[in-house]
Structure 1
Amino acid sequence: MCDCQYNKKTVLADPAVLAALDSKGVVTLRADWTRRDETITRALNALGRNGVPVYALYVTGRPVQLLSELPSRAEIEDALSRL
């Protein structure tokens, strides 16, 4: 199982993570790069990445905050605490 599928079934499905995202008003977006879409490729390049998974928090007026490829519940909660 690739990292993105593992993440989707574990930490990103964790009720505590989902509640934390919701409490901060985070809108989640998922880009499927299965077919190597050029728009997604450009977005990855802008983040200095050339593959997936990539997890990033975008907040208006702040630099993009990149998370690890296998973020833990604690890492996500820590990132959200700084919003």
Structure 2
Amino acid sequence: MASPTGGPPPAYVVVCDLDPLRDPGLAYARRLMDAGVPVTVRNVPGAWHGFELSAPGTRLARAMITHWLTDLRAALHPPL
């Protein structure tokens, strides 16, 4: 899905504070931004990689899933 300007589509990057991939994820998001790609970055404090799969019933996991589902719905069904 290309952006309305014909460039690359927007990106959605989630990083977790306790994840060893946090810094590379943030660097990736920064490179996309520097290239002019619209990027939403979500940092999840106190979380580890895959937390929403290993602890899906926690308040944090439910909140994060709600965030990314809301953003995904908005991206797939933008207002007219």
Task: Give the TM-score range, shorter chain.
Answer: 0.3 to 0.5
TM-score, normalised relative to structure 1: 0.33
TM-score, normalised relative to structure 2: 0.33
More strand by share: 2
Q: Which has the higher contact order (CA 8 A, sep 6+)?
A: 1
Q: Of the two, which has the highest radius of gyration? A: 2
